[in-house]
Structure 1
Amino acid sequence: MSANPQYTTPKLDGHRVALRGRLYPDQHKRAHEAANAHGLSLSDYVGALIDRDNGLPNKLDDPNQGSLPIARAS
């Protein structure tokens, strides 16, 4: 793997990219419970964590946040 790989958007499923991964059962349970507590799907919860980690507006800190700009563009 190169030190500075070029990013290429994978095939989209609607306006989103499929994310597949594996978690430990206890991590999955905590994520599921936290997503439910915020009224989010697990995918939206993970996306909000990624946005928050990058200093971006997210559905965890602003539950009234609408769809992402890319989703509104279509």
Structure 2
Amino acid sequence: MTGGPGALGAFQQYLLQRVGEQVVLGARRRLIRRMLRLPMAEYDHRRPADLVPRLTSDATMLRVALAQGLVAALGAPSPSPAP
């Protein structure tokens, strides 16, 4: 099987994205679990309509920062942004 440098770069990018997505998924799960355990009084001060977009935007920022950090640390080609 011959892959060459292009195949190695594609595999490395796949691994970086896979690890990044797993980290973000874990963070989202922990944050949602924490939100569900908040006392009801907390929702009197903060509307769920404000908390949910904040949660998703923070997870997106974590994904971008993680991808850039891994790429910089490993010297891999920059991954294309996820939609």
- What's the TM-score once normalised by structure 1's chain length? 0.26
Write 1 or 2 for the structure with the bigger share of helix.
Answer: 2
Write 1 or 2 for the structure with the bigger share of strand.
Answer: 1
- What's the TM-score once normalised by structure 2's chain length? 0.24
Higher gyration radius (CA): 2
